[in-house]
Structure 1
Amino acid sequence: MTPDSADVDLAVALVRDAVELAARIRSEGDLDVERKTSVSDVVTEADHAAERLIVERLQEERPDDGVLGEEGAASAGTSGRRWVIDPVDGTYNFTQGSDYWCSAVALVDGDELLLGAVAHAASGRVVVGGPQLPTTADGEPVPQLTDRAIDQISVATYLHPLRVSDDSLREPFLRAACLPATMRMLGSGSMDMMGVATGALGCFLQARTPPWDWLPGAALVLGAGGVAELVDVEGHQWGLAGPRSAVDSLVRALAAAEAH
């Protein structure tokens, strides 16, 4: 389904306003940082404020749509559509003064992904796209991805240190990690997939990716002519996005671990 232009414009406005709010809060001084599951899994008042901004705007402009936010916003709605919200993706980076973070949203209709939008605070860049929506960056079409072999490109990935001891995660990861030209571990899934969609990175690979970390960026990669797939290996779901041949190679490597 091709998304309505009004939904596209709204998604762009939501992430742009959210990322500007979060950046302004960070610039004002000390952040109130709370730990969630680990020292690097954190939330700040900026996350909560940016999520509230998006939810309140959606309540005004799309009152029948549901929402699902990383920081707890959740409603089913009545339209069958749902907005998936990541108010600050890369919060640990955000708290450490890094510019590798963003705000992101996705829109789904039932199980169908319609669009994703990602705004990068440091550059002011907004990228939007979807399976039936060619990806654009600040309104300009991005070049469609060309099919490339995995050994010719980089892979952006993440594996939390607390999970390295889990054989069912580590072994598939190591098999896949042997394949690319190089690896990048930067700490924001939506930023990573925006990089894949715009050509700055080659491919994306991550296990146990929640919907707010997966859907916005996956939409961008699909809109840029790539593929985005979720595969189950040894009880864990892996998200992969990028050129077809590269993704297929990574999937085979992950599955090989399950066969042993």
Structure 2
Amino acid sequence: MDRDLLEYAVELVEEAGGLAARWFTVASPRSGAGGASPVEVEVERLLRTRIAARYPDDAVLGKESDISPGTDRRRWVLDPINGTSLFAQRVPTFNVLLAVEDAEGPLAAVAGYPMSDELLYAGRGLGCWHSLAGRPVRQVRVNDHERLRGALVEMLNPLAWSEELLLTLHRELYLQPWTKGDVDLATGLADALVIAGAPIGYEDLAVLPLLVGEAGGRVTDLSGRDVLRGDGSVLASNGRLHDALLELVAGLPHGRDFAALRERADR
């Protein structure tokens, strides 16, 4: 792929992250038409403006605005504030996500954590790279752990998981809350990531195939399908544990049945 495009994507996320960081202590919770907060609208507007200036023929798919059609076969996918509830509660682990796709699939991906001055980015065939607060940029790889029992797995949204899924994973794995899951997996700190319950939107998922794959890992939904064409759940791993993890969760419901819980509580 074009290294210039990846470098420009990184620059965009850095600039967008700077804007988000300035809003961090003053932004209001989600409000207004469509539920978007002012900071989300402003960050996405900034990204769209910069992309249109450099690549006017590219399409843009955002989270807070309609798709901007393009004449090229390339598309940029934006999530201006991933972790809106974290942002609103002043939890500094929200991030800015940007992915680029072409006719062959994922082309570039960037995840930026503005409050820790941290970036994880990857390009097709170019590897996965990590930078933190001015330290030298380094290429990163997943770990080579092969033992399922006690594997460290970060979990997102466990309150919405089915009891069966949560208990099954708890018996076999070391579960901990999601902090910076993509960074932790790609740098070898975590063995796997699981997202279940409420389906995750495409804008949130679009960065994962490259960030995980270029670091040597594997990502699917919990049924083993392509994560970008799946059910909105996520299983990302170091690759060595992936088949065993899929076998562990096979046939289990992913989300909690809240209707049944309410019915049980009303009895």
> Out of 2, 5, 8, which is 2:6 matched to?
8
| 2:173 alignment partner in structure 1 | 180
For structure 1, the 5+ residue unaligned runs are 37-41
CA displacement, residues 12-47 of structure 1 (integer Å, 9 cap, x when unaligned): 0111111110110223x3x222269xxxxx742111
> Out of 212, 215, 236, which is 2:206 matched to?
215
Deviation at 1:171, TM superposition (A): 3.2
- The answer (yes or no) to whether the contact 2:95–2:111 under 8 Å persists in 1 is yes
**2 CA distance for matches of 1:60 and 1:7?**
13
Q: Given the two structures, how large is their TM-score scaled by the length of structure 1?
A: 0.82
1:246 and 2:241 aligned: yes
Quick one: higher RCO (CA 8 Å, sep 6+), 1 or 2? 1
| 2:257 alignment partner in structure 1 | none
| 1:203 alignment partner in structure 2 | 192
Q: Which amino acid aligns with 1:78?
A: T
Deviation at 1:170, TM superposition (A): 4.7
Identity %: 25
Q: Given the two structures, how large is their TM-score scaled by the length of structure 2?
A: 0.80
- The answer (yes or no) to whether the contact 1:150–1:245 under 8 Å persists in 2 is no
Deviation at 1:56, TM superposition (A): 0.7
Question: What pairs up with 1:64-83 in 2 under 5 angstroms?
Answer: 64-83=57-76
Deviation at 1:134, TM superposition (A): 0.8
3-state SS in 2 of match to 1:213: helix
Deviation at 1:196, TM superposition (A): 1.0
3-state SS in 2 of match to 1:76: coil
Question: What pairs up with 1:1-260 in 2 under 5 angstroms?
Answer: 3-27=1-25, 29=26, 31-34=27-30, 43-110=36-103, 112-138=105-131, 139-159=137-157, 161=159, 163-164=160-161, 169-186=162-179, 191-207=180-196, 208-232=199-223, 236-257=231-252
**2 CA distance for matches of 1:244 and 1:160?**
22
Higher strand fraction (1 or 2): 1
**2 CA distance for matches of 1:241 and 1:149?**
16
**2 CA distance for matches of 1:254 and 1:109?**
32
The number of residues matched between the two structures is: 239
Deviation at 1:124, TM superposition (A): 0.9
Structure of greater Rg: 2
Deviation at 1:61, TM superposition (A): 0.8
